[in-house]
Chains A and B, each alone.
Chain A
Amino acid sequence: MAKEFYRDEGERVVISDAIVFDRRGGVIYLFKPRLTPEDVIASKFAAVIDEAGVRYAIVAGYIAILFGRARRSDDIDFVLEYLGEDKFVNLCRKARRAGFTMMQGNIESEESVRDVYRGYLVRGYSVRFMYGDIILPNIEAKLATTSVHRYVIFHSIRVVVNNEYTLRVSPLELQIAYKLYLGSDKDIGDAIFLYTLFKKIISLQELHMWCGRLGVDCGVLGGDNW
């Protein structure tokens, strides 16, 4: 990557020599020396969903981990746009070909996949996909059932990793407010990490808006403009 890439210029904001944000396209470019199992699993599943033509966004802990938080996660959370049974069967077919299995059912059997759709997804439960023989982390996929889920998908930001693959992740402002809303030590740590790392590009107006909507006080983030 050319050195000029790592200079704040126009719409380009440099967070570090590993993270650059391009405001024009709302894209974060991430460069890391190697991929972790979490990265590999997330990228493989994102490719499956893209191929199935389903819109999605990654939410929760993996976002902080993707950007460098030093902790592990048991799952990588995907929110999928609402999809019908047949489309889910198609998605599972592609997931199986890509090397995924399903925790709640047999991904090889269409009947089982349909049972999982009816028994879990449409009832608001998530479905877990494992990549190869890896149990943790696994993919936790759920359907968008709330207005916040839908917002996350339609306003997701693109993260281009090593110029090799793209992930769609929740808007950072909403993610930070939501983490504060969840409120465990781990969640608060994630919120502070993301806020501190991305201070330069976060919209305070939007962050305040989401904190207000979720009824949390963002003062804990310790910004200059609270």
Chain B
Amino acid sequence: MTSVHEKELEADRRRNLEDVIKHARWEAEAARRLGRRWFELRDEWLIKAHEADKEMWEDARVREALVKAILAKDRVPRASRTQYSKAYQTTQKSKG
């Protein structure tokens, strides 16, 4: 890969990380400000999403494939911290 592509990808990744950070801060502020109302809204969404998943699992083949996939994933070592370190260092550099 050329350095131009690397730079573009790096910039893209940095922007993405900044969005993640901004959104997580907003979410925490909303959870703090709205309190129980926040849980009401969030949980309604979580429950609906879960119900949709349950319909999918009614198919025995889907169930079996899903369990197999989960167990296979467990045998793979977890992702390293490199991803964060690289993106975060870039973010810091750009600020400095």
Could you tell me which A residues sit within 8 Å of B by CB distance? Answer: 15-19, 31-38, 67-70, 72, 74, 103-104, 125-126, 128, 133-136, 138, 180-185, 187-197, 216-217, 219-220, 222
Contact = CB atoms under 8 A, between A and B. Distances in A.
A215 to B, nearest CB: 9
Main SS class of interface, B: helix
Contact of A192 (B24, B47, B71): B24
A74 B50 CA distance: 11
A128 B70 contact: yes
20 contacts: A16-B34, A18-B31, A32-B43, A37-B47, A68-B31, A68-B38, A103-B70, A103-B71, A126-B74, A135-B67, A180-B84, A184-B84, A185-B16, A188-B21, A188-B84, A193-B27, A196-B29, A216-B81, A217-B92, A220-B91
A197 B38 CA distance: 13
A104 B43 contact: no
B28 interface: yes
B27 to A, nearest CB: 6
B80 to A, nearest CB: 8
B47 A197 contact: no
Which interface residue of A35, A133, A180, A185 has the most chain B CB atoms within 10 A? A185
A27 B22 CA distance: 29
Interface string B78-93: 1111111100100110
Contacts of B33: 16
B84 A34 contact: no
A183 B78 CA distance: 11
A74 B75 CA distance: 16
A128 B39 contact: no
